[in-house]
Amino acid sequence: MSVSAIPTLASQHDHEGAPRTTSSATPSATKALQILEAFLGAGPKLGVSEIARTAGLPKSTAFRLLRHLEQSGYVERTGRHYVLGRRLFELGNAVQICRPQGIRETAMPHLAELYVATGKTVHLAILEGTDIVILEKIAGRGGIQPDTYVGGRAPAACSALGKAILSFSDRNHIAAVLESGLVRRTRHSHGDPAKFLAELRRANSERIAFDREEAQLGIVCAAVPIMMEGRAIAAVSVSGSAAGFNAASITRHLRRAAAAISDEVVSSAA
C-alpha cells in the first residue's frame, strides 16, 4: 500500500441546500439517543440541565425522555443526577465484536499473555471514522497510566493504535483523517500532513507504529495491526512510561500477539 500523494477530496458532510431539521421536528428516538450520547466524555453522573444543554434539547423534553429511559433501564437516577443504566451494559456486550468468537474474545488470551510478558498497559482497538475505539484494556503495573477506558475514543492520528490501522487502510480513510485536521493533544503530536504520511509509510513497511508522547505526556505506545485479507481490522498495543520503555523487547511480544490473533480471526472466518 502506498499512502503518498493523498488527493484532496470533497467533504462527505456537505449538505448545503438540504432542509435543516429543527428540534421540534427531530424524532423522539433521535432525541433519546442524543440524551444517551450526552454522557460520552462528560462524566458518569449528569443533572437534567447539563444533559439538556449537551444534547441540545429543552429541559422539559430531556426530563420527559429521561423518565422513559429510566423506566426501561437505560438510565438510573441517583439523587438529583442520572447515570447510564445496566441495560446499556447488556446491549453493549451484545455487539458482534464482543460476542463469542468476536475479535474481543478471540484476542483476550493473547492480550493477557502480552500483559504478563511486559507488565505494561495493553489495548485492543478498532478504527471508527477518524477515531480509534478501545475494545479492551488491561492496566499495567505502576508508573503513569494511560488516560483510556473501554469504549473510549481517541483521535487516530496521534495514537499508535490509529496509525497502525491507518497504515494498512485505503486512501479514503487516510484522507478523512487529514481533512478532519491532525489533532494535536500534546506538543509532540504531528501537525504536518507530510510527516504524518511519512510515518504511516514507515509503519506499513515495518508493521509497527509508535506514539511517543503524542496522545499523553509521559506515555509511549507501540502498536501492531491485526490483519485479515491484507487489511487491518484492529490493532493491539503496549503503553507505558517513556522512561524504561524497551521498544525492542515490546515489539517482539507485540508482533507475536498480533500474529496469533490474526491467525485465529482468519480461521474463525473460514
Q: Hey, where are the domains in the chain?
A: 23-90, 96-269
Nearest C-alpha neighbor of 114 from the set 223, 210, 217: 223
Write out the three cell numbers for 143: 508508573
Rounded distance between C-alpha atoms, residue 176 and residue 169, angstroms: 11
Return the CATH architecture of domain 96-269. Answer: 2-Layer Sandwich (3.30)
Is the CB of residue 103 less than 8 Å from the CB of residue 233?
yes
The pLDDT value recorded for residue 96 is: 67
- pTM for the full model? 0.71
- Distance between start and end Cα atoms, the chain: 25
- Residue 97, pLDDT > 80, answer no
Handedness of CA 192, 193, 196, 202 (dihedral sign): negative
Query: pLDDT tens digit string along 250-268?
Result: 999 999 999 999 999 888 7
The pLDDT value recorded for residue 244 is: 82
The highest-level CATH class for domain 23-90 is mainly alpha
- Residue 113, pLDDT > 60, answer yes
- Residue 5, pLDDT > 50, answer no
- Residue 14, pLDDT > 90, answer no
Place of cell 480509534: 132
The pLDDT value recorded for residue 98 is: 61
Select the more confidently predicted residue: 161 or 153. 161
The pLDDT value recorded for residue 224 is: 97
Handedness of CA 234, 238, 239, 242 (dihedral sign): negative
Q: How is residue 10 annotated by DSSP?
A: P
- For the chain, the average pLDDT equals 85
